[in-house]
Amino acid sequence: MATAVPECAEDFLYCQICTEPFRRPKALPCLHTFCQGCLESYATTQHAQETGHFPCPVCRKPAVIGVAGVQSLPDNFIMNKVADILRKLFFTTCDICKAANKTTPGKAKSRCFQCDKKMCEDCSNTHIQVPITSSHSLEPLYGVNENKCTIHENETLKYYCVSHSVCICVPCTMIEHRSCEINEIQTIKNAEISVIQDLLNKCEKKISELEVIEDKSSLNISSLRQQINDVEMKMANLRQDMEGLDNQLKEEQAQKCQAMFAIQHLSQLKSYSTSILSQEDPVKLLAVAKQVQQQLTDCLQHSTLSDQTTPKMGTVSTRSISSNDLYLSATRDSTCITALKYGDTLTELIRRFTTSKLANESQFLGVAMTSSGVIALSDAANEIVKMFDQYGNILGTHDIKAEVLTSTENSFICINYDCNVGKESQFVVLNTHGRVMKETNIAMTFEPSGITTSQNRDIFVAFDNNTMVQYNMEGKEQQQIILKVSRTARKGFQSCVPSLLVDDNLIYACDTQQNCVNVYNMEGSLNRSIGSYGNGVSELSFPESMCFHGNKLLVCDHDNNRISMFHKEGQFLGQLLQEADGIQKPKNVCLFPDDRLLVVQRKRDAIEFLIFQVNWDSYQD
């Protein structure tokens, strides 16, 4: 028993907050006990005064406090008495020995419930041998409840008031609780123990049931993990098979591209040669006749045909074309043609994905891409901007009726146009997840049709009234540029510019009204026009978008179902992609940081994204 005191003191008599002996211990609903002062300090740090509750410092279960605060929590009277019980158990002397004035009183070991006396072992033995006290109940001192009545201080609590749920003494039964339902405290204790024991039995049963469920779940988890491993192995095998088929497909696509590209440029050379033959002026004909003959001879000599067999796919008849350059040098006072260099692989569709079906008919106005390859699509009809990665996964959205859209290195800039009089429009800068980084108010009289950013981070906005405005990133207007349209344009003609680029102090503007790309200087004077209306080889019909690759200008030739390629000085270089490549009414074109090409087009009620790998080295600027 000597070692029981420090163990009890360690476990029960010390507050777990201050690690000191309990001072006015308060019990929480979870039955953990702490000093009142410690709880008051802790509750303050948890803002309990405002919330009306705080978590238990040990188990984190919430403890609700009233207006009176921590003081309203119940006192742990059991904890209050434990220390006294332990002290009395180990340090209280025998009342009988003291009454007999013994020199060395014995250490109290038990207590007579009827006499309310503490006795040592010798006195206890004598007490039960005396006939008059032989029927008394002796209890070990450490098991005796020493609770005294708070009203009648010298009386022990022996009864329980059921009406008021409180322990009372004998005088209480005759005065304060004379009309209440009263029972012996031991009887109530036994009843409560029975209820608690019944609940404990139910808990034990529930634990057993849950353990069975846990065991079954463990078996199911093991089985599912094995199934996952099996599926992953099958997927790996399928991926390996798919890669093999994909390589075969690439080979066939390369053969097809080579044949199509050669046919296209041989046809161009043939068309040009035919036009030379129809030349009535013999001087002009003779000026280029030798060159045409040489080019035709070289082309016929270096274009070879062969049949190839592709494994696992049957026999496919293809045309293999050797890599050569077709080039006619310019001569004075003569018409010349520059053909393209074609090689082993030209363009290859490597990925295709579509957006989910749209609630409204989408008349999307812009596609832009950051330097990290994040794609943004502005859908004005549905009043939303969506961000995608290169695999079609949505990275974020932002609800806004963005009329036009462009990008910087790591963000997107769109215009929230407000046509109401006296209302300001806004430059809205979005990050790659659709969150607003910055909003800047700007004054706009007309509705914008196109937008781009320059290398020095200025923003250029095109309007449908033949004007452009240059802004800085703070939304301050730098200059207004009045576009001088071509002399052939009718009086009152207004350009429509859905796409524009700024390069080397020149403004390149796709004009869907004039069906060309107009190039202006910074004063708005027309420098040159690239392309003209029609469906011929170098002609355009409703060009909607464009982008640069080095000195090459790639143009979305919407109505001709192709991506046309020009030198930025205006020279036609050829058709990069056509209807045979899956191009149908292309609306936007832009480049990934790794030079892959993105083409965006409408497909019924959704938007289709096509990603092409292009062998740019096969094309001559």
Cβ of 559: how many Cβ atoms within 10 Å? 16
* Contact predicate 385/429, CB 8 Å: no
Q: What is the pLDDT of residues 50-92, one digit of tens each?
A: 888 899 999 999 998 877 788 888 888 887 777 666 655 555 7
Q: Do the two domains 1-91 and 347-618 of this chain adopt the same fold?
A: no
Q: What values do phi and psi take at 51, rounded to 5?
A: -90, -20
What's the rounded Cα separation, in Å, for the pair 10 and 3? Answer: 11
Query: For residue 500, which of 432, 548, 555, 452 has the smallest C-alpha distance?
Result: 452
Establish how many alpha carbons lie within 13 A of residue 194's alpha carbon, considering only the half-sphere containing its beta carbon: 6
* Contact predicate 501/566, CB 8 Å: no
Q: What values do phi and psi take at 358, rounded to 5?
A: -95, 145
- Name every residue whose Cβ is closer than 8 Å to that of residue 501 and which is 6 or more positions away in sequence: 452, 507, 508, 546, 547, 548
> In CATH, which superfamily holds the domain spanning 347-618?
TolB, C-terminal domain (2.120.10.30)
Pairing relationship of beta strands 62-64 and 110-112 according to DSSP bridges: unpaired
Q: What is the pLDDT of residues 118-162, one digit of tens each?
A: 899 899 999 989 888 888 878 777 544 456 787 887 788 889 999
Q: What is the pLDDT of residues 183-212, one digit of tens each?
A: 988 888 889 999 999 999 999 999 999 999
Q: Is 43 helix (H, G, I), strand (E, B) or coil?
A: helix
Using a cut of 0.85, tell me whether the model's pTM lies above it. no
Q: What is the pLDDT of residues 233-265, one digit of tens each?
A: 999 999 999 988 988 888 887 777 777 767 776
**DSSP secondary structure of 529-573:** EE--BSSSTT-BSSEEEEEEETTEEEEEETTTTEEEEEETTS-EE
pLDDT for residue 394: 92
1-91 has which CATH code? 3.30.40.10
Higher-confidence position of 148 and 562: 562
Cβ of 340: how many Cβ atoms within 10 Å? 21
Q: What is the pLDDT of residues 457-500, one digit of tens each?
A: 899 999 878 889 999 988 889 999 988 866 555 544 566 778 89
* Dihedral angle of Cα 246, 249, 251, 254, to the nearest 10 degrees: -120
Establish how many alpha carbons lie within 13 A of residue 598's alpha carbon, considering only the half-sphere containing its beta carbon: 26
Domain ranges of the chain: 1-91, 205-301, 347-618
Cβ of 610: how many Cβ atoms within 10 Å? 22
Q: What percentage of the chain reaches a pLDDT higher than 70?
A: 83
Hey, what are 349's tokens? 């569709």
* Contact predicate 363/607, CB 8 Å: no
Q: What values do phi and psi take at 255, rounded to 5?
A: -60, -45
Buried b (16+ CB within 10 A) or exposed e, 51-75: eeebebbeeeeebebeeebbeebee
What's the rounded Cα separation, in Å, for the pair 76 and 22? Answer: 10
